[in-house]
Structure 1
């Protein structure tokens, strides 16, 4: 999985660039920025052209004649102009990096870099993402036996909400630790203690979200096993007549007929188990609380940070 978790409401093309933008983001945080786009140096071009024209006219009235002046102007002026335009090429930077840079600035607050999380938060995010991946890669999900439409919407929203909360938790926890390190007076300890408990309570709430995802993934895994077993049994049932024919021809009816009857009964029980397991998975899915809507304060302000042109 990518190291950047993106708000699922971001357009897919932009989201893909953001997920691949970890290296650019790390360089940005070290102070890197693409060079400003430079237009053609019109003033410089005009000055050089004027000098060359004057030089050509001066030579043209001399003993070499006008033809020599024009030839000299072409030989000297043209290469100078070419070098001037090449020097001011506006595509000095990688266009892909520039576009990623602009998107990272525009969508600031709507993506989370896993590197920014502390160790505990990274573990929780990893568990959540593993559970989501297990569900989305499952066979019962691919076959549409689960609520695949809601999965496609709810699971990315859950991943983003968990990542967003963990990013806030990690930042506040680091600030809290820095403030209380080095000893505290009783007055400071009285204030810091409940704030520390608030951080712990917030982490427990996020943990509950992650565990709900893991329960859902476990139910989906059980449904996957039942689904595979169901298909295997169905394949065997489809060949029962061949077994019965062989048993009859070999005279082994007394031994094999009861076994074949049990096979049909096992298939019926397995089909019921499959239905129950899929029902359990759907019930587990319903216990996933939908995350609240996006915080409008996290949205960029178009008046201060214009949307990059694509």
Structure 2
């Protein structure tokens, strides 16, 4: 199951970045924002400071303002310090910080146009997983790839269905969590009289989303039937294409008792499977119509 569901209206490159940035998105959801970028990076600042210190004491030693031994010692200490600071500037943490800054600058405009799986409670997570499995059944099927279904509408309608289901489940999960937090403190009869109908409203909303998911599952079931018929049809056609080879072998070996009934059944099976394929594809089209808004 994808960790991030994105509004289909988000540009494809940004949508892909959203899907790949779950950890940063979670930090952003909690209020994180990177520090403002300085004119001089912290790495350069450290390097310049170290370099300046080494040069300063070298000059003092040169003018005899500090002992040459002390100046030399400070220079010798300063060089490895500068090297260490330079190396520290190349640590992965700095690269990670810069990457997170770039992601933040790119994605901070998309709040409300993605749903993190972490946003969903357990019940909602199960419903979304069911919807995504149904969608995968359709989009990954050969009958869809081969264009026997309305693949163009599938490519538009199914992501829209996934997004709408995820969006509604995120709202439901958030409101249900707040409701439970409120009533968990104990309620008076007066509060219960208000809270119970609101709880039923939450349940009704979940049932409405469930109906959407079940419609997707019915469509996926019809597509699965069409897929089985499609595969079987092609297998039968492959066998039919080799019938003459079987006939030659039977004739050459003298196994005449084999041929006629089996070959007749093969032709009948091919016809039945072709009809089943047409019926199942038609049923899938009918089921798809119920997904239209």
- Report the counterpart of residue 108 of structure 1 in structure 2: 111
2:173 match: secondary structure = helix
Looking at structure 2, the residues matched to 198 and 266 of structure 1 have their Cα atoms a distance apart, in angstroms, of: 52
Scaled by the length of structure 2, the TM-score of the pair is 0.80
How many aligned residue pairs are there? 279
The correspondence of residues 158-307 of structure 1 with structure 2, limited to 5 A, is 158-290=161-293
2:220 match: secondary structure = helix
CA drift at 1:8: 0.9
- Report the counterpart of residue 15 of structure 1 in structure 2: 15
CA drift at 1:176: 1.1
CA drift at 1:32: 3.6
Looking at structure 1, the residues matched to 196 and 209 of structure 2 have their Cα atoms a distance apart, in angstroms, of: 20
Q: Deviations over 1:108-137 (max 9, x none)?
A: 000011111111001101111111112111
Q: Which one has the bigger helix percentage?
A: 2
CA drift at 1:238: 0.4
Looking at structure 2, the residues matched to 148 and 265 of structure 1 have their Cα atoms a distance apart, in angstroms, of: 30
CA drift at 1:237: 0.3
**Structure 1 residues 172 and 30, CA, compared in 2 at 3 Å: closer, same or farther?**
closer
- Contact 2:14-2:107 at 8 Å conserved across structures: no
1:5 match: secondary structure = strand
- Contact 1:18-1:103 at 8 Å conserved across structures: no
CA drift at 1:206: 0.2
- Report the counterpart of residue 306 of structure 1 in structure 2: none
Unpaired runs of 5+ residues, structure 2, are 42-47, 64-74
CA drift at 1:13: 0.7
Q: Deviations over 1:4-44 (max 9, x none)?
A: 11101101111111111111122334554322111149xxx
Looking at structure 2, the residues matched to 166 and 29 of structure 1 have their Cα atoms a distance apart, in angstroms, of: 17
2:115 match: secondary structure = strand
Scaled by the length of structure 1, the TM-score of the pair is 0.75
Looking at structure 2, the residues matched to 126 and 224 of structure 1 have their Cα atoms a distance apart, in angstroms, of: 22
Looking at structure 1, the residues matched to 203 and 120 of structure 2 have their Cα atoms a distance apart, in angstroms, of: 15
CA drift at 1:96: 2.6
Looking at structure 1, the residues matched to 160 and 29 of structure 2 have their Cα atoms a distance apart, in angstroms, of: 27
Q: Deviations over 1:242-276 (max 9, x none)?
A: 22223334444454212211211111111111111
1:39 match: secondary structure = coil
- Confirm or deny that 1:144 pairs with 2:147: yes
Q: Deviations over 1:180-233 (max 9, x none)?
A: 223322222221122111111100000001111111111111111111111110
RMSD after superposition: 3.8
- Confirm or deny that 1:33 pairs with 2:33: yes
Looking at structure 1, the residues matched to 231 and 266 of structure 2 have their Cα atoms a distance apart, in angstroms, of: 16
